Structure 1
């Protein structure tokens, strides 16, 4: 009887124990593989978002087909801003270009410089940059001047200028001002707008 137990029952118990251990290891192994796949998907999405920060203007669809153009006959106390060999004008915290005897309000181009920040500016720190924002325009300090720049992706602001526009890109709705794309977000329960891209004009 003892011989029968040793030759049949003990090997059977060893086989069952081994099979259970292998099955448990397989389940653990599968669980690890699933976690890796999920992480990889998240990483890929973030990388794609970062790489696609510049969006072709041909992909942007504006909700309104035309934009209202604001112009005035004269600008008192204007400052001339030279940019790439062309004259622009700065007064009342706004930039203008001249056309047919009138001054047309424009969003300043990247690279414009002014000596004094607009009175209503706000300071925002993101990563290593101090941005100064006024009416949707981002400035950084360079020596004794302030230069218009594109903000970094991820920069958050709490308000947009009144004349921002709603746009869609690949069916998603965004907010645009001065070629900067924003997405509405919540920060500590407060509505805010995160920079998600820059439109390349073509």
Structure 2
């Protein structure tokens, strides 16, 4: 009788163990079949520095807009070059007219242009105003190149379309952007910097 009970109990435990294992496997496999794989199609992006010889602009000449006068301008001297600041833009003077330009890397100001946007990326705070990236250094703001992967939600009005290795990108102030979807919204990701030297 003891042998019969041992055989019966051991058989019952064995059957329960097998059914639990089969049940667990079937639950695991059903969970796997319900897993949703999110695929992001991304172009091959250029490396950080892109030689300017590899960049082809869609328009052969940049439209240069000049104005005769800038009311209420502020003059900022940077390494012997005068920049004129007004209407949230920087200008240079040429042949008696003012041409909108982007300030060079290293350019510093005491006050950020109005309507800047704070962008946080890799534990760094960037201040983006009209496509120009600044970081705070002591009591000043210095123009810098953004890190690859930095996201912005809009480009300045005078950006240009460029082609590199057959792929289209957007360029402003030698910064290359790629159009992406970020959190369900159209955005632009920094993918490279044009090396103009």
- TM-score bin, normalised by smaller chain: 0.7 to 0.9
Identify the residue that residue 182 of structure 2 maps to in structure 1. 187
**Is 2:86 aligned against 1:91?**
yes
> What are the residue-to-residue correspondences of 1:20-31 with 2, within 5 Å?
none
**In structure 2, which of residues 131, 145, 148 is the aligned counterpart of residue 153 of structure 1?**
148
TM-score, normalised on structure 2?
0.74
Q: Which residue of 2 aligns with 1:60?
A: 55
Between the aligned partners of 1:53 and 1:151, the Cα distance in structure 2 is 10
CA distance in 2, matches of 1:188, 1:49: 20
Q: How do 1:39-188 residues align onto structure 2 when only pairs under 5 Å count?
A: 52-188=47-183
Structure 1 unmatched runs, 5+:
1-47
What 5-or-longer segments of structure 2 have no aligned partner?
A: 1-43
Aligned with 1:58: secondary structure?
A: helix
Distance 2:82 2:156 in 1: 25
Runs of 4 or more above 3 Å deviation: none
Scaled by the length of structure 1, the TM-score of the pair is 0.72
In the alignment, is the contact (CA less than 8 A) between 1:83 and 1:111 conserved in 2? Answer: no
User: 1:49 deviation in Å?
Assistant: 6.0
Query: Is the Cα–Cα contact under 8 Å of residues 185 and 191 in structure 1 kept in the other structure?
Result: yes
Q: Counterparts of 2:74 and 2:102 in 1: how far apart (Å)? A: 16
Partners of 1:188 and 1:74 lie apart in 2 by 43
Q: How far did residue 128 of structure 1 move? A: 2.1
Question: Higher helix proportion, which one?
Answer: 1
What secondary structure sits across from 1:186 in the alignment? strand
* Cα deviation 1:125-170 (Å, max 9, x = unaligned): 0002101111111111111111111100000011111211110001
RMSD: 1.6
